[in-house]
Structure 1
Amino acid sequence: MRPLPHLITSFPERPESLTAVRFKREGQWISWTWKEYFDNIEACFYFLKSIDLKSHDRVALFANNCIEWVLVDLACQCLGAETVAIYPNCSDEDLQHILTESNPKVIFCGNSSLKERLPKSLSSSSYSFASLKNSKEDFDFWKSLDESLKSSTKSSSEQFKSSCLKCSLDQIATVVFTSGTSGLPKGLCLSQKQVISELQDVSLAFPITAEDRTLSFLPYAHILGRVEMWLSAYCGFTLCICDSIDRVKKDLLENSPTVLIAVPRIFEKIYASVLTKLKASSIHRMVENLEKKGFLASLSMAPARILLQKKVQQGLREALGGELKYAISGGAPLSKEVSNFFKDCEVLLLEGYGLTETTGAICVNTPDTHQFGTVGKPLGDVQIKLAEDGEILVKSDKVFKCGLNSEENPEAVDSLGFLHTGDVGEWTSNGFLRITDRKKNLIKTSGGKYVAPQRIENLFKKFPLVSHVLIHGDQRKFIVALIALDPTELKEWALRKNIPFSKVSDLPHAPQVQKKVSEIVREVNGDLASFESIKKFHILDRDFSIEEGELTPSLKLRRKVCEAKYKSVIDQLYGM
């Protein structure tokens, strides 16, 4: 087991024919060999030294995905400095908290707009400000790297390699912050030991080689996005960097990834998009007409159904770039309907399970061993046991070293070395793990019945019209739901149904929308026991959002915030 900086020193030895990384600059894709990648990491290393960064100093990265982000992260590890990743869409409150807690010596901002969001109080402290993207106000990052590269000598090159090889497994690689679903984000320290344990076991579990390509668009502040970036350095596959979620669709076509790593929300969006296009197609309308005329069981339907299925398969594969071998979903539960849809389209979508605290994945479904509706089997050295109440307990080299600014042996780890995840799960008969909910989210009705809200919320994910659902019912007589609709899907659906409207926000009150959502709720209830079925619901005027503090930067519901904000609406559903 060797730290990542040790592996970086061997980059120049990799074949020149292989592409290490692809990224866009001024609208054009640029490809680097492993030698060019190495040279730029080295140049960044000397640039960081020139601004007086030292081992154990902290460097905050407040930017969207970009090649500069990657270079600073890897160069910091080679120097022994600790990077602090910050979501560019985080709230001002979270930003203030993260910067106060981590106390970075330098903050790199992606652009001047992000720089302006930094708390004013920081300007008089010991921070150095810089920008990754060139602008008139900020220094030229690439010019600084070029100067560092030109001024480097043979002896300085040896200094870089020497610094890389000094790196130990106990060295802190990064400080990551949890998403903060139940409060302010919590800082965790991940050492090289945790990082390499994750990379080593993931590389053994999945058939990924130097010939593969991924499109890297998950934020690097998200542990899964970060692992993807590090895994490229470890395994040698090509990392194609997408710097905006708005460009994913186009970048998929321009890079044709062979492996795709994302969170469920991305796959749900793809699923919804394909279904929407399908329903608008002439073939779908033809099949619908045949069914309405009573030809459902007729052999004459077979050619039309086969044609329809092929159209869906072709559309999905083309949308994903045409060369995808398999996709990996993690970071939140994936609905069985979505995974089955991808399977029916002959695209293998594999779900895994992990936490920020475990440096990413601890359970995975693999191309050779998988069961839909589960998160797979334990990865590598991971030991999992279930507590009496079903809580998942984990022991592994992947478990975080310590909390930020705290001693080792964090509170969440018990005396036997098991991390108490807070997630509740169960084993299938053949050894796959199934997640049922978060322990703290379990609802106990006034009738004494336990309900897992996340499981019910996930049942809505197969409906493109629904964006988010909040299930409520703790110490209440029955279950209710707050339903937020997807504005894009809602608008398109209303246009197809010829429903008049002036603003999309007016549509939730339309009788046709109320009826459609009632049908969806009725279908969901068909999969639920009586005590957990939704008795009443309310359609919100807008979707939950990060800006309003209702979602984390990784798009998870902040349950307590939402329940407090919509308390009056919930009370009305209970007749209060």
Structure 2
Amino acid sequence: MREFSVPASATVSPEENLTDMVWANADRFANTVSFRRRVEGSWIDVTAADFAAQVMAVAKGLIAAGLQPGERIALMSRTRYEWSLLDFAIWAAGLVSVPIYETSSPDQVEWVLADSQAKAVIVEDADHRSRVGAVVDLLPEVRHVWQIEGPDARTGAAGAVDELTALGGAIPNTRVRARSRAVHADDLATLIYTSGTTGRAKGCELTHRNILAEVRADIHAYPRLLEPGNSVLMFLPMAHVLARAIAICAVYARTTLGHTSQIAGLVSDLGTFRPTFVLTVPRVFEKVHAKARAQAQDSGRGRVFDAAEETAIAYSRAHEGGGPSLGLRLRHALFDRLVYRRLRAALGGRCVAAVSGGAPLSERLTHFFRGVGIPVLEGYGLTETTAAACVNTLDAARIGTVGRPVAGTSVRIADDGEVLIKGEIVTRGYWNDEEATRQAMSDGWFHTGDLGELDSAGFLKITGRKKEIIVTAGGKNVAPAALEDRVRAHPLVSQCMLVGDRRPFIGALITLDVDALAGWRARRGLGAAKAGEAGKDPELLRELQRAVDTANESVSTTESIKRFRVLDEDFSEENGDLTPSMKLRRSVIARSRAMDIESIYRT
């Protein structure tokens, strides 16, 4: 099949915007618990009326600060309640939000602020403020910097929410209502910067229509998850479009939303919050599985866990055929008492499903968790498609695929195998980059850069990547070229190729410049050596580590090179590693150096 479409489940009217849901919830469901906020170790309820009042108060402060409709305001913070509060307050004031990953380097922060022409920045803590402060003097457009965590020990200033609330005390509610009503569906809601092949992030423009279409499509896909009375604990970065979309879905559907950024305490938070579903990336489930297996082995129950794992996988696979046999059902019931219920308890005991995106989870682990009783519903999308374009659902799932298109969306497979997407969820283009927009869009179809196949029922399977962007197991998009160039800037380095697609971290293959190596060794009184032998020299490895560390300073921690491998020989056109224009043939290198790549991730 070359194309599959799903009709829209709802329409977005021209006058709608994202703050409508906040005011409607407060008017009609005032006492509904919209959020549970972590305060000093306890979860505190925030009703729909409470949330609307706080959104109103902060929006008044933004207006009082002199910010004008359509201006951009950046938000740099870990996942926390204030993220959602500020996001909606920015929209209520008629402004455009610009999320920045809290792991971003000063150089990355400067680029986003400069390119978006942000007028204000809200940061979480003193560390973020120092990173912004390092570049804000170079950006005269930035007039305000507010800090969420307060009071500031140095100045005594209150936190951003209290400060903005106080600032807007004299602004009438009608000013906010007027600003909010003036925003229409096709107005810009957010600029999300996403990595490009050049290494410079592009500002993806998402309108209120884009996000509302995504929200309604997601709720249509997950009616038993996104409904009143259910709950979701958000621990992915809110700067990621998927986390943000599901958070907005929760507000729209009146599903109670919680936030946490303390991954070390995630199990505890899951136990006390007790969500009915979680949003995650494959790396989390890989860690849960690995930790459970390690604990079983440490306690002498490794063989029990292995048997339980095989049973769960067989049980899941059996449901795709004629169903499990009596013997398999009995084994499954036994291991449910011994193993599976403990895994479900680790997610709070009430979790009925997990929504996963950002990178693929292996089919084996997907079957394992479904057999345990936690179906992992994989989907597919990009920032440019406002998160999910395809999803597996509780009622229609095929493991090994990323599901069918969400409502109102069409997927087409181009002649070269590239996945194309059309619908109201698709971005209108890139900020200040008409050429990038032109290259990505054709007759309303967005070119994803991924390769895929559609089966007869419309389920999409991603088979490869057309673009060079690396997607780690944690769902982080990494553009390799800029960081590779920085490593290659060291005299001893001839070539550098980043690896890490579907892996837990970024690694690198490094080759040595033979002439530079000879000089380096001569200066140290060392004789001639082949590159492969020299690559095991501890002093040389320390020198290369310094080169990597220097290069890493230009990117966030999640984009940084964690380990590298020095290869025995250089890349060359003769052995097929390089094109005639000396560009890396990444797929060729990945195949020919597969063992070297594996050694990077071997513990």
**Shorter-chain TM-score: what band?**
0.7 to 0.9
Which amino acid counterpart does residue 34 of structure 2 have in structure 1?
Answer: A
Give distance in 2, aligned partners of 1:247 and 1:89. Answer: 19
Please state how far the C-alpha of 1:126 moved relative to its aligned partner.
3.8
Q: Indicate how the Cα distance of structure 1 residues 183 and 8 shifts in structure 2: closer, same or farther if over 3 A, else same.
A: same
What is the SS of the residue equivalent to 1:4? coil
Q: Find the partner of 1:87 among 93, 101, 109.
A: 101
Q: Find the partner of 1:359 among 386, 389, 394.
A: 386
Q: Quick check: 2:17–2:208 contact (8 Å CA) kept in 1?
A: yes
Matches within 5 A, 1:23-38: 23-38=37-52
What is the SS of the residue equivalent to 1:107? strand
Please state how far the C-alpha of 1:277 moved relative to its aligned partner.
2.0
Q: Quick check: 2:105–2:553 contact (8 Å CA) kept in 1?
A: no
Q: Quick check: 2:99–2:191 contact (8 Å CA) kept in 1?
A: yes
Partner of 2:163: 144
Q: Quick check: 1:205–1:366 contact (8 Å CA) kept in 2?
A: yes
Give distance in 2, aligned partners of 1:252 and 1:569. Answer: 47
Q: Find the partner of 1:159 among 175, 181, 187.
A: 175
Q: Indicate how the Cα distance of structure 1 residues 324 and 203 shifts in structure 2: closer, same or farther if over 3 A, else same.
A: same
388-397 or 175-184: bigger deviation: 175-184
Please state how far the C-alpha of 1:159 moved relative to its aligned partner.
2.7
Unaligned 5+ segments in structure 1 are 290-298, 443-452, 462-479, 488-540
Q: Quick check: 1:9–1:164 contact (8 Å CA) kept in 2?
A: no
Please state how far the C-alpha of 1:283 moved relative to its aligned partner.
4.2
Q: Quick check: 2:97–2:189 contact (8 Å CA) kept in 1?
A: yes
Q: Quick check: 1:172–1:192 contact (8 Å CA) kept in 2?
A: yes
Structure 1 position 400 matched with structure 2 position 416: no
Q: Find the partner of 2:449 among 414, 419, 422.
A: 422
Give distance in 2, aligned partners of 1:422 and 1:108. Answer: 33
Q: Quick check: 1:283–1:308 contact (8 Å CA) kept in 2?
A: no
Structure 1 position 215 matched with structure 2 position 233: yes
Q: How many residues align?
A: 473
Give distance in 1, aligned partners of 2:133 and 2:565. Answer: 30
Partner of 1:338: 365
- Using CA pairs under 8 Å that are at least 6 residues apart, name the structure with larger relative contact order, 1 or 2: 2
Q: Quick check: 2:73–2:120 contact (8 Å CA) kept in 1?
A: yes
Please state how far the C-alpha of 1:100 moved relative to its aligned partner.
2.0
Please state how far the C-alpha of 1:348 moved relative to its aligned partner.
1.1
Q: Deviations over 1:355-387 (max 9, x none)?
A: 001100000000000001100001111111111
Q: Quick check: 1:284–1:308 contact (8 Å CA) kept in 2?
A: no
Q: Quick check: 1:395–1:417 contact (8 Å CA) kept in 2?
A: yes
Structure 1 position 253 matched with structure 2 position 267: no
Please state how far the C-alpha of 1:103 moved relative to its aligned partner.
2.1
Q: Find the partner of 2:207 among 191, 202, 209.
A: 191
Q: Find the partner of 2:25 among 11, 19, 22.
A: 11
What is the SS of the residue equivalent to 2:438? coil
Q: Quick check: 2:58–2:161 contact (8 Å CA) kept in 1?
A: no
Q: Deviations over 1:481-511 (max 9, x none)?
A: 9999989xxxxxxxxxxxxxxxxxxxxxxxx
Please state how far the C-alpha of 1:329 moved relative to its aligned partner.
0.3
Structure 1 position 39 matched with structure 2 position 53: yes
Matches within 5 A, 1:227-306: 227-285=245-303
Q: Find the partner of 1:312 among 327, 330, 339.
A: 339
Give distance in 1, aligned partners of 2:396 and 2:328. Answer: 35
Partner of 2:192: 176
Q: Quick check: 1:91–1:547 contact (8 Å CA) kept in 2?
A: no
Q: TM-score, normalised by structure 2?
A: 0.71
Q: Quick check: 1:171–1:191 contact (8 Å CA) kept in 2?
A: yes
Give distance in 2, aligned partners of 1:569 and 1:92. Answer: 36
Q: Indicate how the Cα distance of structure 1 residues 84 and 305 shifts in structure 2: closer, same or farther if over 3 A, else same.
A: closer
What is the SS of the residue equivalent to 2:29? coil
Which amino acid counterpart does residue 91 of structure 1 have in structure 2?
Answer: S
Q: Indicate how the Cα distance of structure 1 residues 198 and 569 shifts in structure 2: closer, same or farther if over 3 A, else same.
A: farther
Give distance in 1, aligned partners of 2:233 and 2:153. Answer: 30
What is the SS of the residue equivalent to 1:183? coil
What is the SS of the residue equivalent to 1:137? coil
Q: Find the partner of 2:463 among 431, 436, 442.
A: 436
Which amino acid counterpart does residue 421 of structure 1 have in structure 2?
Answer: T
What is the SS of the residue equivalent to 2:19? helix
Which amino acid counterpart does residue 53 of structure 1 have in structure 2?
Answer: L
Q: Quick check: 1:351–1:376 contact (8 Å CA) kept in 2?
A: yes
Structure 1 position 381 matched with structure 2 position 408: yes
Q: Deviations over 1:218-263 (max 9, x none)?
A: 1111001111221122111111111333332221111000011111
Report sequence identity in percent: 29
Give distance in 1, aligned partners of 2:554 and 2:269. Answer: 26
Please state how far the C-alpha of 1:9 moved relative to its aligned partner.
1.8
Q: Find the partner of 1:206 among 213, 218, 222.
A: 222
Q: Indicate how the Cα distance of structure 1 residues 281 and 160 shifts in structure 2: closer, same or farther if over 3 A, else same.
A: same
Matches within 5 A, 1:487-498: none
Give distance in 1, aligned partners of 2:370 and 2:149. Answer: 40
Q: Indicate how the Cα distance of structure 1 residues 301 and 50 shifts in structure 2: closer, same or farther if over 3 A, else same.
A: closer
Q: Quick check: 1:326–1:349 contact (8 Å CA) kept in 2?
A: yes
Q: Quick check: 1:110–1:133 contact (8 Å CA) kept in 2?
A: yes
Give distance in 2, aligned partners of 1:389 and 1:485. Answer: 26
Q: Quick check: 1:179–1:552 contact (8 Å CA) kept in 2?
A: no
Please state how far the C-alpha of 1:95 moved relative to its aligned partner.
2.0
Q: Indicate how the Cα distance of structure 1 residues 341 and 549 shifts in structure 2: closer, same or farther if over 3 A, else same.
A: farther
299-308 or 278-287: bigger deviation: 299-308
Q: Indicate how the Cα distance of structure 1 residues 567 and 371 shifts in structure 2: closer, same or farther if over 3 A, else same.
A: same
Give distance in 2, aligned partners of 1:300 and 1:168. Answer: 59
Give distance in 2, aligned partners of 1:105 and 1:74. Answer: 17
Q: Quick check: 1:213–1:257 contact (8 Å CA) kept in 2?
A: yes
What is the SS of the residue equivalent to 1:440? coil
Q: Indicate how the Cα distance of structure 1 residues 304 and 406 shifts in structure 2: closer, same or farther if over 3 A, else same.
A: closer
Give distance in 1, aligned partners of 2:390 and 2:330. Answer: 41
Give distance in 2, aligned partners of 1:546 and 1:303. Answer: 54
What is the SS of the residue equivalent to 1:117? helix
Q: Quick check: 2:60–2:93 contact (8 Å CA) kept in 1?
A: no
Q: Deviations over 1:323-363 (max 9, x none)?
A: 01211001111211111110110111100000001100000
Give distance in 2, aligned partners of 1:483 and 1:5. Answer: 37
Please state how far the C-alpha of 1:58 moved relative to its aligned partner.
0.9
Please state how far the C-alpha of 1:16 moved relative to its aligned partner.
4.3
Structure 1 position 120 matched with structure 2 position 134: yes
Q: Find the partner of 2:34 among 10, 17, 20.
A: 20
Unaligned 5+ segments in structure 2 are 1-11, 308-325, 476-497, 506-543, 572-591, 597-603
What is the SS of the residue equivalent to 1:410? helix
What is the SS of the residue equivalent to 1:420? strand
Q: Indicate how the Cα distance of structure 1 residues 554 and 315 shifts in structure 2: closer, same or farther if over 3 A, else same.
A: farther
Give distance in 2, aligned partners of 1:206 and 1:223. Answer: 18
Which amino acid counterpart does residue 425 of structure 1 have in structure 2?
Answer: G
Please state how far the C-alpha of 1:39 moved relative to its aligned partner.
0.2
Q: Indicate how the Cα distance of structure 1 residues 149 and 98 shifts in structure 2: closer, same or farther if over 3 A, else same.
A: closer
What is the SS of the residue equivalent to 2:73? strand
Q: Indicate how the Cα distance of structure 1 residues 246 and 179 shifts in structure 2: closer, same or farther if over 3 A, else same.
A: farther
Q: Deviations over 1:182-220 (max 9, x none)?
A: 622221111001011100111111122111100011111
